[in-house]
């Protein structure tokens, strides 16, 4: 059977045995990830881009239409990261420049190398979700996506946080437990068409566990996993550290049905349980803020924009959280003796939540890409580039956004159908099944109302 035929079967089949290992089909991909100097090149590229954003943001023009740092960060880099979630999971985190300073300090012995405390392991998820909410709030009310200085200070603050924890603890504790961007990337990676997994039959005879601990000068897993313990897409950075350390050739990069992990884990991830309702609520609030009717909303409340948006954000989050609770009640079961407590509406809404984030970032990209090259010209005095100004009409962007969100809703219906057909057959009554579908349609309608 041809490799592309196997690939299609891997993407649409619910049978885990149909998954194919991309490392076997494209051995060059494994060699690329295993060669640490290749990752060094990629990280260097990310570091250079990071440094340019900081320098241009701090010392360049204050006008965002004359400073490329803003669109470079919010219009190109961030949408590209969001898009990568659907294909390669958290691979961006493997080359992310934010932990670079901390890694540099650790390699020069400037770290206490303390073990990560238990409270950080247990409560880090709550802190990272709070930080994510804070970032989105600041992005909107402080206009970070229109502020060169604000953008630079934002990326520097995350770098400082990562460096501080690197000086205290071993490995990349910030990336594993606290990074808000890593947390949202991990939740989104559950929807990826690829997964990095070990061959457990090979791992059972392993004696060294070098993939986690490292050997000599070769560092082990920076987020304390090791290939043998990767069971989901939440934490693995697909950084390739384990590949040259494993002498059993266990790690695999599998092509899969993108909904298989959501169906299998059924909302047991606490990360997703907090991020999904907040993301959907914040997206509805952010989209609504760009509509003309938001001005009427402000006038009605008689509040400044900061307070009006904050109230809208909280109310949207509470409403979506309430819909998720209602959907769980309609589902009829939220605890199983085999795998414990779960929130069935969370995996059902994950496709729409992260499709919504892609649509939001895509809208920003479409609104600014026509002005990007002229912005370069204004910043460096190349007036001839002003002629390259263009504008993308709203209608095709809205149409594409509606198409993506409709696919997210259809994916949610598919996940619900699979869950009711397999593990929970006969438990969800027909009228409840219809009720959950109506909730999905209600959320889709809310999205379309604030987008179109």
Domain ranges of the chain: 17-258, 272-451
Tell me the DSSP string of 144-195.
GGG-HHHHHHHHHHHHHHHHHHHHHBSS-HIIIII-HHHHHHHHHHTT-SEE
pLDDT level of residue 156 (50, 70, 90 thresholds): very high
pLDDT for position 337 = 65
Backbone CA torsion sign across 312, 313, 318, 322: positive
Between 122 and 373, residue with greater pLDDT: 373
The yes-or-no verdict on residue 2 having pLDDT over 80 is no
Q: Share the mean pLDDT of the chain.
A: 90
pLDDT for position 427 = 86
Which residues have a Cβ under 8 Å from the Cβ of 402 and sit 6 or more positions away?
448, 451, 452
Cα–Cα distance, 447 to 325 (Å, whole number) = 19
Cα–Cα distance, 173 to 169 (Å, whole number) = 7
- For residue 112 the two structure tokens come to 């206490």
pLDDT for position 39 = 78
Q: Are 308 and 301 in contact (CB under 8 A)?
A: yes
Cα–Cα distance, 177 to 195 (Å, whole number) = 20
The yes-or-no verdict on residue 80 having pLDDT over 90 is yes
Pairing of strands 252-255, 194-197: antiparallel
Q: Are 384 and 404 in contact (CB under 8 A)?
A: no
The yes-or-no verdict on residue 42 having pLDDT over 90 is no
Q: Are 219 and 114 in contact (CB under 8 A)?
A: no
pLDDT tens, residue by residue, 236-257: 999 888 999 998 999 999 999 9
pLDDT for position 274 = 85
Of 349-358, 423-432, 443-452, the poorest mean pLDDT is in 423-432
Cα–Cα distance, 107 to 163 (Å, whole number) = 12
Q: What is the arithmetic mean of pLDDT over 28-50? A: 85
Q: How many CB atoms lie within 10 A of CB 296?
A: 10
Q: Are 188 and 275 in contact (CB under 8 A)?
A: no
pLDDT level of residue 7 (50, 70, 90 thresholds): confident
pLDDT level of residue 1 (50, 70, 90 thresholds): low
Which residue, 9, 232, 218, 196, is CA-closest to 94? Answer: 196
Q: What is the arithmetic mean of pLDDT over 401-406? A: 96
pLDDT for position 94 = 86
Q: Are 441 and 349 in contact (CB under 8 A)?
A: no
Between 47 and 367, residue with greater pLDDT: 367
Q: What is the arithmetic mean of pLDDT over 387-400? A: 94
Q: Are 258 and 269 in contact (CB under 8 A)?
A: no
The yes-or-no verdict on residue 293 having pLDDT over 60 is yes
- For residue 34 the two structure tokens come to 């295993």
Phi, psi at 423, each rounded to 5°: -65, -30
Cα–Cα distance, 230 to 368 (Å, whole number) = 39
pLDDT level of residue 266 (50, 70, 90 thresholds): confident
Phi, psi at 219, each rounded to 5°: -70, 150
Cα–Cα distance, 372 to 325 (Å, whole number) = 43
Backbone CA torsion sign across 96, 102, 106, 108: positive
Between 152 and 9, residue with greater pLDDT: 152
Measure Cα distances from 130 to 186, 271, 444 in Å: 15, 11, 26
pLDDT tens, residue by residue, 419-442: 988 888 888 899 999 999 999 999
Q: What is the arithmetic mean of pLDDT over 162-186? A: 91
Backbone CA torsion sign across 311, 316, 318, 319: positive
pLDDT tens, residue by residue, 311-348: 999 999 999 999 999 998 999 877 766 666 778 899 99
Q: Are 452 and 398 in contact (CB under 8 A)?
A: yes
pLDDT for position 215 = 87
Q: Which residues pair with 197 in a beta bridge?
A: 252
pLDDT level of residue 23 (50, 70, 90 thresholds): very high
pLDDT for position 254 = 94
pLDDT for position 16 = 75
């Amino acid at each position: 059977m041809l490799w592309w035929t196997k690939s299609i079967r891997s993407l649409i089949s619910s049978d885990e045995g149909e998954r194919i290992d991309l490392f076997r089909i494209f051995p060059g991909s494994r060699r690329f990830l295993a060669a640490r100097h290749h990752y060094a090149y990629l990280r260097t590229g990310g570091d250079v881009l990071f440094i340019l954003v900081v320098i241009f943001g701090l010392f360049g023009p204050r006008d965002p239409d004359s400073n490329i740092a803003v669109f470079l960060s919010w219009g190109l880099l961030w949408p590209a990261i969001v898009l990568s979630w659907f294909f390669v999971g958290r691979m961006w985190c493997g080359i992310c420049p934010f932990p670079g300073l901390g890694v540099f300090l650790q390699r020069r012995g400037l770290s206490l190398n303390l073990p990560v405390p238990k409270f950080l392991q247990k409560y880090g998820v709550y802190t990272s979700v709070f930080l994510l909410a804070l970032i989105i709030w600041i992005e909107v009310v402080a206009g970070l996506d229109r502020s060169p200085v604000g953008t630079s200070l934002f990326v520097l603050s995350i770098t400082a946080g990562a460096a501080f924890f690197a000086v205290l603890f071993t490995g990349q504790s910030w990336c594993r437990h606290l990074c808000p961007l890593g947390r949202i990337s991990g939740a989104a990676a559950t929807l990826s068409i690829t997964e990095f997994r070990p061959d457990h039959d090979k791992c059972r005879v392993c004696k060294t566990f070098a993939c986690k601990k490292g050997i000599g000068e070769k560092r082990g897993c920076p987020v304390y996993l090791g290939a043998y313990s990767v069971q989901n897409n939440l934490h693995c950075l697909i950084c390739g550290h384990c590949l040259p350390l494993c002498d059993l050739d266990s790690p695999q990069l599998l092509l899969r049905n993108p909904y298989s992990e959501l169906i299998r884990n059924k909302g047991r991830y606490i990360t997703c349980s907090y991020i999904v309702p907040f993301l959907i609520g914040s997206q509805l609030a952010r989209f609504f803020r760009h509509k003309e009717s938001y001005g009427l909303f402000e006038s009605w409340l008689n509040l400044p924009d900061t307070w009006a948006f904050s109230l809208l954000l909280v109310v949207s989050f509470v409403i979506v959280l309430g819909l998720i609770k209602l959907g769980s009640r309609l589902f009829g079961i939220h605890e199983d003796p085999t795998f414990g407590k779960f929130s069935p509406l969370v995996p059902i809404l994950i496709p729409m939540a992260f499709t919504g984030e892609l649509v939001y970032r895509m809208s920003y990209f479409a609104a600014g890409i026509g002005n990007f090259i002229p912005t370069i010209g204004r910043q460096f005095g190349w007036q001839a580039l002003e002629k390259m100004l263009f504008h993308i009409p709203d209608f095709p962007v809205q149409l594409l956004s509606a198409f993506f969100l409709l696919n997210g809703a259809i994916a949610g219906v598919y996940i619900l159908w699979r869950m009711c057909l397999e593990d929970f057959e006969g438990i969800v009554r027909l009228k409840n099944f219809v009720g959950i579908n109506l909730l999905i349609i209600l959320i889709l309608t809310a999205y379309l109302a604030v987008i179109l």
